[in-house]
């Protein structure tokens, strides 16, 4: 171990994620990465808005979307984002137990969101709205599914951090990981807000 992450008195610096150059680099780099992610999702949104009226003989957005279910999913994901904030706050208090607890709860809510999304997709398929049934289908599943894949990746990432924190504890090496995973989780959440408004709400009011 390099001496930078060894703290004889067990104290972390006030902002442990920014205490080392590696940590600061990771935060800068990750914000930049999120900029690139925005273009990824922006392109998928562009494709969706170009193609969303091409439903052929399949169901239209108005017929498909059931807002109560989507609202529940939204509530779950937004709450999970709040929990990841609590995790970072606990980390800043150098409270390993609470950090892990909030991370664990974030993962649980993420899993519930994913379960709802899978249920939703299965339901749509049973109504004849498939990936290959129309251009609307392709662009819908590409956009929302890409977000779902981000959620799934985030769950794996947060779980990995949840597990390694037990062994490694909170150090200036692990702190940036918690911070970045939380940043990622917020980002995935923000994208969902756009999907919720632009795909589901707008799909309900304007076909």
Minimum distance of another protein from residue 9's CB (angstroms): 19
Name the residue nearer to another protein (CB basis): 123 or 166.
Answer: 166
164 binds another protein (CB under 8 A): yes
Q: Which of 7, 13, 18, 33 binds another protein (CB under 8 A)?
A: 33
Mark 174-193 with x for binding to another protein (rule: CB under 8 A) and - for no binding.
---x----------------
Q: Which stretch binds another protein (CB under 8 A): 73-81, 106-114, 152-160, 190-198?
A: 152-160
- What does the CA dihedral 128, 129, 134, 137 come to, rounded to 10 degrees? -170
Mark 49-88 with x for binding to another protein (rule: CB under 8 A) and - for no binding.
-xx--xxx--------------------------------
Name the residue nearer to another protein (CB basis): 86 or 146.
Answer: 146
Minimum distance of another protein from residue 42's CB (angstroms): 8
| CA 83 vs CA 79, 94, 104, 153, 182: distances in Å | 6, 16, 9, 18, 9
**Which of 173, 135, 174 lies closest to 54 in space, CA to CA?**
135
Name the residue nearer to another protein (CB basis): 1 or 122.
Answer: 1
Give the interface with another protein as residue ranges (CB under 8 A): 1-3, 21, 24-26, 28-29, 32-33, 35-37, 39-40, 42-44, 46-47, 50-51, 54-56, 131-132, 134-139, 142, 156-157, 160-161, 164, 168, 173, 177
């Amino acid at each position: 171990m390099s001496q930078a992450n060894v703290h004889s008195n067990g104290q972390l610096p006030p902002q442990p994620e920014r205490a080392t150059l590696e940590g600061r680099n990771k935060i800068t780099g990750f914000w930049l990465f999120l900029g690139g992610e925005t273009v990824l999702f922006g392109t998928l949104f562009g494709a969706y808005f170009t193609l969303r009226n091409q439903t052929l003989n399949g169901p239209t957005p108005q017929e498909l979307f059931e807002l109560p279910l989507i609202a529940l999913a939204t509530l779950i994901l937004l709450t999970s984002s709040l929990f990841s904030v609590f995790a970072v706050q606990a980390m800043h208090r150098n409270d390993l137990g609470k950090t892990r607890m909030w991370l664990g709860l974030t993962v649980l809510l993420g899993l519930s969101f994913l379960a709802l999304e899978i249920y939703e997709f299965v339901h749509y398929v049973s109504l004849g709205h498939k990936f290959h049934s129309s251009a609307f289908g392709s662009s819908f599943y590409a956009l929302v599914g890409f977000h779902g894949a981000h959620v799934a990746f985030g769950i794996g990432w947060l779980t990995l951090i949840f597990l390694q924190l037990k062994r490694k504890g909170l150090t200036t090496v692990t702190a940036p990981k918690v911070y970045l995973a939380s940043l990622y989780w917020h980002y995935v959440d923000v994208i969902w807000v756009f999907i919720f408004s632009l795909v589901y709400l707008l799909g309900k009011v304007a076909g």
